[in-house]
Amino acid sequence: MGQPLRWLAGGHLRADKVAVSVAGVIEPALQAAEMCRSVARPTTDLGAYDLYLRALATFFPVTKERVFEALGLLEQAIAIDRHYGPALSWAALCHLHLVRDGWAADPDTSRRKACDLARQALEVGENDPGVLANAAYVLAYFGEDIGAMIGLVDRALALNPSYARGWYLSGIIRMLAGQPDFAIEHVETSLRLSPRERMGQPLLLMGAAYFFKRQFHEAAAKLLLSIQDHPGFPNSYRGLAACYAHMGPLDEARAIVARLRAITPLVMPSVLPWRNPEDRELFLSGLRLAAGEPT
């Protein structure tokens, strides 16, 4: 169950390639249209689904204010339907962002809520690819067995091979597992299926994967483009600062840290989700050097 779906990612699709590609374009377009209709409705006429759609429309591009607003909408949806798997899984993602990006007033509480919400989502949405992929990412990030989480995201992709976001989250989980080549392959599959996707976060994932492959120049190029597309996302700055530190230009690394501090007070991440100790040390040593901290 935990084996990578090479027959899906490597160009050997068993399903008809055209049908999968078309589905990958149509599905997000339909969801975007639904979100627009929901946002246009009066706030006095909102059910759980409408609140969920508004939260998705609010969430991207990710900023502190947007995450808190999306979380509030999702909490309203869950209050209406406590078995609403998609809302539970996205609320878990909101708490992950609050912890990871240094925006949580109480990181331990947000971490616990993220994991509890992800598990609740799995209990009620075991055959929903979006729920499976979101929950797998949250639980993988906070230290659950990485093989089991790969199994969950593989199940999501088996249920829906054209699920572009599922491929992207699979790429993140593969990177956490110490599989940067699979991470790059899966995010590229995601972008082929959803070519109009905002590029900031996929570029961050590719940059991180190249960083852990020790290909720092390629990593820096991706991370710079990620920041250009999504300037409010802390992890892009952390990765680029660590990259510059290992490449040598410490003045540039420290300038990136200064820009990071304008977004979040949390320069050093509070969670180290990478399972490979060498990956953790590579990242931390670079970021400490960039931040002027003892290595």
pTM, 2 dp = 0.85
pLDDT digits (tens, 9 = 90+) for 77-111: 999 999 999 999 999 999 999 999 999 999 999 99
Give the model confidence (pLDDT) of 200-248 as tens digits: 899 999 999 999 999 999 999 999 999 999 898 999 999 999 999 999 9
Residues 6 or more apart whose Cβ sits within 8 Å of residue 87: 48, 51, 52, 55, 74, 77, 78, 81
Dump pLDDT digits (tens) for 154-213: 999 999 999 999 999 999 999 999 999 999 999 999 999 988 777 889 999 999 999 999
Closest of 30, 112, 105, 20 to residue 64, by C-alpha: 105
Q: What is the pLDDT of residues 121-154, one digit of tens each?
A: 999 988 999 999 999 999 999 999 999 999 999 9
Residue of 25 and 251 predicted with greater confidence: 251
Third-level CATH fold of 198-295:
1.25.40
- For residue 49, how far is the Cα from the chain centroid? 22
Question: Does residue 231 contact residue 237 with C-beta atoms inside 8 Å?
Answer: no
For the chain, domain boundaries: 198-295
Show the CA angle centred on residue 51, arms to residues 154 and 71, nearest 5°. Answer: 70
| CA-angle at 13, arms to 29 and 165, nearest 5° | 35
Instruction: Please check whether residue 242 is in contact with residue 260, taking contact to mean a CB–CB distance below 8 angstroms.
Output: no
